[in-house]
Every structure is written in structure tokens, then in C-alpha cells.
Amino acid sequence: MNVSKAALWRSLTWAAVVTASLFLSGCGQGVPDVDEGVERGILLAGNGAEPKSLDPQRATGVTENKIISSLIEGLIAYHPTDDTLPEPGVAESWEPNEDASVWTFKIRDDAFWSNGDPVTARDFVYSYQRMLDPAFPGEYAQMLYQLRNGEAYKTGEITEFSKVGVSAVDDKTLRMELVGPTPYFLDMLKHYSWYPVHPATIEAHGGPLDLSGEWTLPGNFVGNGPFVLEDWLPNQYIRVVKSPTYWDREMMRLNEIYFYSVEDVNTEKRMFDSGLLHTTSTVPTNDIPILRETRPDIIHIDPYLGTYFYRLNVTRAPLDNPLVRKALNLSIDRQAVVDKVTLGGQTPTRAYVPAGFNDYPTPDLISYDPERARTLLAEAGYPGGEGFPELYLLFNTSEGHRKIAEAVVDMWNTNLGINMQLENKEWKVYLDAQTHLDYDVSRSGWIGDYMDPVTFLEMFTTGNGNNDTGWSDARYDELIHKAFRSPNQEAHYASLLEAENILLDELPIVPVYWYTRIYLQDPRVRNWNPKLLDNRPYKYIYLSE
Amino acid sequence: MFKFIARRILQSIIVLFVITTVTFFMVHAAPGDPFSAERKMPEHIKQRLMEHYGLDKPEIVQYFHYVGSLLKGDLGPSHVETRSVNRIIGTTFPVSLELGSWALLIALGIGLPVGIIAAVFRNTLADYIPMSMAMIGICLPTFVLGPVLALIFGVWLGWFNVSGWFIPADRVLPALTIGLVYAAIIARITRGGMLEVLNQDFIRTAKAKGVPFPRIIFFHTLKGGLLPVISFLGPALAGIISGSFVVETIFQIPGMGRQFVQSAFNRDYALVMGTVIVYACLIIVANLLVDIVQVILNPRLRFEDS
């Protein structure tokens, strides 16, 4: 008996010793906390999912963009406060011709790569040639179709790159000829698909067509941005440090940034609560109303250039009938959705393209009118929902999407007397169903790439890979085509506005709300301004008590 | 013994081959592909990627190509991530192995003594209290225990980082999360195994002959009483070491469990195959070890084998 008791004590003591020694060896955290960060100029940022690629010409995601934009600088950079304004990046000045179809950029003399090489116009030509190479799988190559003959070169119609509208006049002068007048070209240039890559580095790691991504790993990466890549610990963090060669380094007050890959929103919240993050990428939905009440100083809700909507499969009855689509559109109480379900200060849509583009006159075309919706449905041959077939609303498995879908389906069923059901599928299965038009109604969202409404409207042209509704309208296609070639902003917007009116009259989609970016932030983070595209010019950000 | 091991290894190779083949065709049969995304890439670019990874060829050709490079030890490039599958597994497996080892240590360090004490002091408070707690431990899912531990010891008390894998102390909370659940199960199994042996005739004989009680427990009972624990440890070992997707996600640990689950969601065929093969090997090896230990501990099995 006594020995058993002794054994018990022994094991208890042993367990305590192990725990204590582990604990003691763990004094200090191994990574800086927020106070140390403020002291030493280290920004600690939650950055969502693990980045897939740091090659600006292959990356596609928001998380990648945040990191890449700290490592590489394009001709035009992000403005610290206003997304609609151009901020000089590598280009110190630029000049369009009369109809904005030919642009000449003067590259600053003090722009250097992180290995000390000067940034030249030839680097840009090399980069764009890589992006447009028919064998290079850059997903955003389409952005560069704005260059004259860019598309023809990509599709192999022409084989001489010299015919593509980009050329180095001399080391520091870059000339770009576009497919037509592009008044919003500077906005496009902020997108990372237009960033340069360092030719010698690319050549040293398998050449322009190498897909291994070796050149993007720490030690290999050469960029020209305000920061250089120091560590990349997969599924932990990416650490970038202030570049010793960046032209504007004198004004920078941040020395380092940690981009934490944190996929779980609750883990991210705990990291913030325990002082490991200055800023998060998002906030758990359930915490939003509480934090808005109790901690308005740390919760930020900024407008964001994105639309949440439902696609309607117009190739299937009864959704092929515009009256039915109108009835569905009129019977969603969007205000209730944002007030009671999404809780993140989102804006109920008034149109499809989010409000906020400079001078684009967002139309006011969407309303809640169940009475009229019932009349339209009766006109379509389903009075009181009678004879209306059972339809399914498809969404990808997610608590957030489910809640919204439940609310919307309930509004439809109650207001129209129809029978709509929910159907959730795993992400890739859902994408597959959407692509093959194997759905009735499908949850969707779209985030703008740059500050022009065309980034929202182009996708619904006939045959566009992202249309996914089966809808097609010749006049709409023509207007979008025209918008791409408008000589000035007024004509450009006029075409787009007319196109949007057609879209919202035909309704292959039912917009629900405009996104907001919701995140937590330490009040000591300075110069972090609400940005519609959520682009961060890190060189301007600093930390101070 | 040697014959037994040789036979088991041969069986394992066949099992591994079947797993590889079945997984390969199943994962390719799942809807979607590695390159589908909400914002679709242009068709010719997707085509180019499919060619690059050899996904444009017939599946059977891809299969033989895969098995060919597998035999050379090359698990191929990830279709989604920047690093190759060999490299991903090379960096994530040691993390899971370390976490699993700590968890196992906790599980055994707590589970065994508690189980033994409960059996010895059967039907007293020393039995009821730990066994009720063990029942709660078994019922408590890791996705509850993990965040609770992180909240108490990370956020409130500030003793540990709430997440990450940077310093030795970062091992404590995740290892406890996995370890406590297994400790609870092990405690119950140990108690059961011990009780069964304690009721047997040779124990009564030993008692009658005046063998001291501690000697009865540690020399006579334990050897037989632990057999059920050991057979449980086979699958448990693999389960613990392969980590847990949930625990790795809660504590932001760069282990293999997350790669395994994420790769399936991403349709990252090569990474799915790589992780499945590593897990299969792990389970096979763990079970083999357990069988060997059982043969050593249990003379009856040795007799049957010969």
C-alpha cells in the first residue's frame, strides 16, 4: 500500500518538475509582443491563410497581396489615404498622350533592387514578357491584355514580343502603348500583376518559366519594395525587414513586419487578446456586436470594395423568366440581413457595383417590395407561389454563408409562398457545380481588383469565365467593350452605368450587401487609414504610444 | 519471432500498395481540381498548369508515373504550395512527431498511475473521483479543451503563448490538449486490465504465500494488466503522432495534420498522396511494434506463433 502511495507522489512530483522546467525554459515568448513591437518598430499582423506564392506574377489572393506589396513596388504605389489617387512608386513621373492610350513613365534614379542593382525600364519589359509568355501560367495575365498586342502574344497569334506595346526607351524611360484610351490606367498599375520582377534572380533560379517558386524563398528573393524577405516559416509567419536599398527608406518608421498565417478566426482573436498581434485580418462574427459595444477603440469597420450576391441560373426554368428573377430580387429585406445576420456594418446593396468609386454615379435600383414581388410572380404564372417548382440555394460549407442563406430563403418562402431549400457543398464541389451551371441559385461574392467599376461588370459578358449564370446580352457586351475604349472617364462611366442598368433589369444575379472589412487593431498603430481596396502602403505606417 | 516479423512486413507492403492505389484514384475522382477557385483562371492558363503537373494525361498514365517517382522517394511537387511535397512533409512531420511524443508522455504519465491507483483502491474515493474525471476527459472534445486551456493559461494568466511553435513552452498547451484526452482513456483501460488480473487465481496464491502487496502489484499484476493498454497504444500512437488537425489549427502549429486536411480541401493531389502514405506507414509501424511488444509480454502468443 505504502509503495503505491509513494509511487503516486513520485509520478506527481515528476509531472510537476517536467511542467515547471518546460515553463521556465519558456520565459520570453520567442516572438515579439505588441509592446516590444511598438518599442522597436515591429508591426505584428494577422494575415489569414498561408500564402501560396510570393511571385507577384503567379499570386492571386488577398493574403499574398499584402506581403508582396511590402516586398515589391510597382510604377504606381498605394496612396496612404485615398485609393483613387496615384502615389508615385518606382515611377517618379508619368505622362499620357492626348487620349490616354500611350503612357510614358520616368523611373526614378534612386530606385534599387534589394541586391543593389538599379531598377530599369528593361526590368519591366522583361517582367511583362514573362507574364505574357504563352507558356507562363500567370493567372492575372489578362490584366496585361491592356497592352497593345498583349493578348495576341499570349495566345500565340504573334511571336515577336517587340510588337507588344511595352518598350524601354532608355534605362529609365518606359513607354506603354495600350489597346485604346485607358483613363483609369494608373489605377490598374497598382495591381501586383504589373509589378516588376528581378530578371537576374529569375534567370538564376530556373528561368522565367520555372514554376518551382525557388526564387521566392528567403535568401533568394530580390525585390525593390520597402521591405525585404527575411523569414518564411510555413504556417507560422513571414517576416520582412526594412530594405537598406529602398529609395524612400529615410521616411520609414517601421523596421519589421511579421505577417502571421492564422486561418482560425478564434485563434487570431486570442492572439490579439494576449498581445501577440497589433492588427487582425478579421473578427469572429459573434464577437462583432459585443466589441462594437465594449471596445469601439479597437474594432474597425471599413467599407470594402466587394459585393455579396446570389447567382441565378437563367438556363433553368423558372429562373429563365425575368419576372421570377425580379420577384426574387424584390423580396429580400437586405437591411434585415445586415442588421440581424451579418452584423458587421455592411451596406445593403442599392446596385451591384459598390458605391465609392470616384465620380461613378452608383444607381439606386434595388428595393424591398414584397407586394410588387408577389404581383410579378403572379404575372409569371405562379400566383401565391402556386406551381412554383422546388428550388435549391447552393452555398459552400460555412457557418456565415449558412446564416445568410437561411435568412434569405426564409424571406423568399414567406414573401412569395415558394419552396426554396438550402444545399451546401464542400468548397471545390461547390465551385465545380457553379462552373457547370449545376445549380438553381448559388452564393457568390466578388472583390474588385482595382478602382474601376469595370472590374465588377466585365465578368458578366458573354463567355466570360466568371459569368457562371448562363446569362448573355449583346447590348451589355457591346457596352463593356465600348467602356474599355472610351476616350475619357465620362464616356467610360456612361457606358458602364448603362451596362449596370441592363444587368439589374435582367437580374442574372441578386445583390445582397456590400462588404466591409472588419478587424481589430491596437490603437498605437498609426497612419492606417480605411481603404476601399484594403491596400496598405506599409512604408507610411508606424507605431507609437 | 523473425518469421513473424518478416511475414508482417510483407503484409505491410501489400497494404501500403493497396492504400496508395485506392487513394490515388479516389482523390482524382473527387469533383474539382487543384486550380479551381472563386475567381476562375483563364482556360489556356489552367491548361498550361495541368500540362506542367502532368494532369492532362490519362489517369492510369499519371498513376504509373506517380508510382515510378514514389519508388525513387520523390513525392512530387505540390500543386498549390510553393514547396515540394518532400519538403513539406520533411518540415511538418518532425513537428507532429515532437508534439505527439509530448502528448504521449502526458497520456502515459497521467493515465497509467491514475488507472493503477483506481484499480488498487477499487470502490473508494481514489477510484471514483479520478474515474469520473476520466469520463469527463473522454467526453471533452479537443476543440473545447484547447481553446479553454488557451484562454485560461494564455490570455488570462499569460503563462504561455496562445498559439505558435517557437519556444519549448509552446509545446505545453497543445500537448496537454491531446495528452489529457488520451490520459483519460488510458486510465480507464489500465484500471480495467488491472482489475481483471487482480481477480485471478495466481494473485490469490501469491497473496496466500505472503508476497508483499507492492510486489504483487508491480511484478505480478502489471505485466498482464497492461496488455490492453498496449494494444490500444498501437492505433493511439499513430493517432497522437499524426497530430490532430483541430489542435494544430487551434494552436497554430505547423504540423502535418493541417497539411493532410488542407491538401484534401485544396485537391492538392500530390500532397494528399504524400501525407496519406506517411500516415499509412506510421500506422503500420506502430501496430507492428505493438504486436512485437505483445508477443514479448505475453508468452501465450509466443506459443501460438511457433
Averages of pLDDT over runs of 10 residues in chain A (545 residues) are 50 58 55 95 95 92 93 96 92 94 97 97 97 91 94 94 96 96 92 96 95 93 97 95 96 96 93 96 92 95 95 96 97 96 94 88 92 96 95 94 96 96 95 95 93 93 92 97 88 95 96 96 95 91 95
Contact A270 B165 (CB under 8 A): no
- By C-alpha distance, which of A431, A446, A449 is closest to A534? A449
* Grid cell in block for residue A416: 412569395
- Coil, helix or strand at residue B229: helix
Asked if the structure places residue B261 within a domain, the reply is yes
Say whether A87 sits in a helix, a strand or coil.
strand
Q: Using an 8 Å CB-CB cutoff, list chain A residues near B266.
A: 428
Query: What's the CA gap between A429 and A427, in Å, rounded?
Result: 6
C-alpha separations of B125 from A179, B111, B213, B254 in Å: 84, 17, 20, 42
CA torsion, ordered A90, A95, A99, A101, to nearest 10 deg = -40
Judge whether B75 and B84 are in contact, CB under 8 Å.
yes
Residues of chain A found within 8 Å of residue B33, distances taken between Cβ atoms: 428
Rounded mean pLDDT of B138-164? 91
Question: Which pLDDT score, from 0 to 100, does residue B39 have?
Answer: 85
Q: Do B45 and A54 touch (CB under 8 A)?
A: no
Q: Which of A27, A236, A428 sits opposite B165 (nearest CB)?
A: A236
pLDDT tier at B210, thresholds 50, 70, 90 = confident
- Tell me if B166 and A30 make a contact (CB, 8 A cut-off): yes
* Nearest-Cα residue of chain A relative to residue B46: A137
Over range B104-121, report the average pLDDT: 92
Query: Å from A495 to nearest chain B CA?
Result: 24
Q: How far apart, in Å, are the Cα atoms of A100 and each of A166, A181, A492, A539, B103?
A: 15, 5, 12, 30, 65
CB atoms A264 and B250 under 8 Å: yes
| Calpha distance A153→B251 (Å, rounded) | 48
Q: Tell me, what CATH number does B292's domain have?
A: 1.10.3720.10
Cα B281 to chain center, whole Å? 11
- Listed in order, strand segments (DSSP E) in A74-213 are 76-77, 87-88, 91-96, 102-107, 166-170, 173-177
Does A209 contact B at CB distance below 8 Å?
no
The reply to whether residue B36 touches residue A236, judged by beta carbons under 8 angstroms, is no
Cis preceding linkage at A318, omega within 30? yes
Instruction: Return the number of other C-beta atoms located less than 10 Å from residue A264's C-beta.
Output: 18
Residue B224, domain member (yes or no): yes
Q: How many CB atoms lie within 10 A of CB B114?
A: 26
Q: Is the distance from CB of A205 to CB of A216 less than 8 angstroms?
A: no
Contact across the interface for B49 and A137, Cβ inside 8 Å? yes
Buried b (16+ CB within 10 A) or exposed e, B157-178: eeebbbbbbbbebbbbbbbbbb
Q: How many domains does chain B have?
A: 1
Q: Which residues pair with A106 in a beta bridge?
A: A93, A173
Distance from CA of A54 to the nearest CA of B (A): 8
A residues 7-46 closer than 8 Å to B (CB): 7-8, 11, 14-15, 18-19, 22-23, 25-31
| Gyration radius (Cα) of chain B, Å | 24
Could A141 and B251 be called an inter-chain contact, meaning their C-beta atoms sit closer than 8 Å? Answer: no
- Contact between chains at A270 and B147 (C-beta distance less than 8 A): yes
Residue B147 lies in a domain: yes
d(CA A131, CA A199): 12
Evaluated on CA atoms A513, A517, A520, A526, the torsion sign reads negative
CA distance A307 to chain B (A): 13
Instruction: Answer positive or negative: Cα dihedral of B25, B29, B30, B36.
Output: positive
Among candidates A105, A103, A75, A77, which has minimal Cα distance to A90? A75
Q: Which of residues 140-169 of B touch A (CB under 8 A)?
A: 147, 150-151, 154-155, 158-169
Question: From CA A103, how far away is CA A181, in angstroms rounded?
Answer: 10
Return all residues near B170 (Cβ < 8 A) that are at least 6 apart.
A26, A30, B160, B161, B164, B251
- Which residue is closest to A54 within chain B, CA to CA? B82
H helices, E strands: number in chain B: 15, 0
Instruction: Determine the pLDDT at residue A4.
Output: 47
State the burial class of residue A427 (Cβ atoms within 10 Å of its Cβ: 0-12, 13-18, 19+).
middle
**Cβ separation A465–B41 shorter than 8 A:** yes
**Cβ–Cβ < 8 Å for A450, A293:** no
Q: What is the 3-state secondary structure (H, E, C) of A407-463?
A: HHHHHHHHHHCCCEEEEEECHHHHHHHHHCCCCCEEEEEEECCCCCCHHHHHHHCCC
B 26-85 residues with CB < 8 A to A: 30-33, 36-46, 48-49, 52, 77, 80-84
Evaluate whether A331 touches A412 at the Cβ level (below 8 Å): yes
Average pLDDT over residues B246-257: 92
Strands A173-177 and A166-170: antiparallel
Q: Which residues of B touch A8 (CB under 8 A)?
A: 113, 117
C-alpha cell at B291: 504486436
Strands A256-260 and A42-46: parallel
Q: Do B167 and A266 touch (CB under 8 A)?
A: no
**Residue in this structure with the C-alpha cell 491596400, named with its chain if needed:** A535
The CA distance from B273 to B27, in Å, is 8
Whether A75 and A91 have beta carbons less than 8 Å apart is answered as: yes
DSSP letter for A99, please: T
User: CB–CB of A110/A224 below 8 Å?
Assistant: no
Query: Among B40, B55, B105, B173, which would you mutate to test the A interface (most chain A Cβ atoms within 10 Å of its Cβ)?
Result: B40
CA distance B10 to chain A (A): 36
Pair B177, B142: CB distance under 8 Å: yes
Give the residue carrying C-alpha cell 505540390. Answer: B78
Q: Which residues contact A413 (CB under 8 A, 6 or more apart)?
A: A419, A420
Q: Do the chains contact at B151 and A270, CB–CB below 8 Å?
A: yes
CB within 8 Å: A134 and B44: yes
pLDDT value, residue B245:
85
Given pLDDT bands bounded at 50, 70 and 90, which one contains residue B302?
A: low
| Selected residues 107-136 of chain A with any CB under 8 Å from a CB in chain B | 134-136
For residue A457, what is its C-alpha cell? 461588370
A1 touches chain B (CB under 8 A): yes
Is the Cβ pair B252, A262 closer than 8 Å?
yes
What pLDDT is stored for residue B306 in this prediction?
46
Domain membership flag for residue B14: no
Distance CA(B11)–CA(B16), nearest Å, equals 9
Give the model's pLDDT for residue A26: 45
Chain A residues touching B218 at Cβ < 8 A: 3
Distance CA B275, CA B88 (A): 10
In chain A, what residues touch B265 (CB-CB under 8 Å)? Answer: 426-428
Host domain of residue B224: 85-305
Which among B38, B47, B149 is the top mutation candidate for probing chain A, defined by the most A β-carbons within 10 Å of its own β-carbon? B38
Of A14, A270, A433, the CB nearest to B150: A270
The residue in chain B having the minimum alpha-carbon distance to the alpha carbon of residue A213 is B82
CB spacing of B170 vs A26 below 8 angstroms = yes
pLDDT of residue B236: 86
Chain A residues close to B93, C-beta within 8 Å = none
- Residues from chain B that touch A260, judged by Cβ atoms under 8 A, are 252
Residue B118 has φ and ψ, to the nearest 5°, of -60, -40
Q: By C-alpha distance, which of B32, B26, B21 is closest to B66? A: B21
What pLDDT is recorded for position A13? 62
Contact at CB, A428 and B154, closer than 8 angstroms:
no
Judge whether A410 is closer than 8 Å to chain B, CB to CB. Answer: no
B 181-210 residues with CB < 8 A to A: none
> B162 contacts in A (CB within 8 Å)?
267, 270-271, 273-274, 276
User: Within an 8 Å CB–CB cutoff, is residue A383 touching chain B?
Assistant: no
Helices (H), A183-305: 185-189, 199-204, 265-273, 287-294
Radius of gyration over every alpha carbon of chain A, rounded to an integer in angstroms:
26
Q: What's the pLDDT at A320?
A: 96
Residue among B189, B111, B185, B175 nearest B145 (CA): B175
Predicted pLDDT of residue A1: 41
**3-class DSSP state for residue A392?**
strand
Mean per-residue pLDDT for B32-37? 90
Question: Which positions ≥6 away from A538 have C-beta within 8 Å?
Answer: A43, A69, A70, A226, A227, A254, A257
Contact B268, B81 (CB under 8 A): yes
Does B265 touch chain A if contact means CB atoms closer than 8 Å? yes
pLDDT tops 90 at residue B270: yes
Quote the CA–CA distance of B121 and A151 in Å, as a whole number: 81
Per CB-CB distance under 8 Å, the chain A contacts of B81 are 50, 52, 234
- SS3 of A33, please? coil
Is there a contact between A230 and A120 (Cβ–Cβ < 8 Å)? no
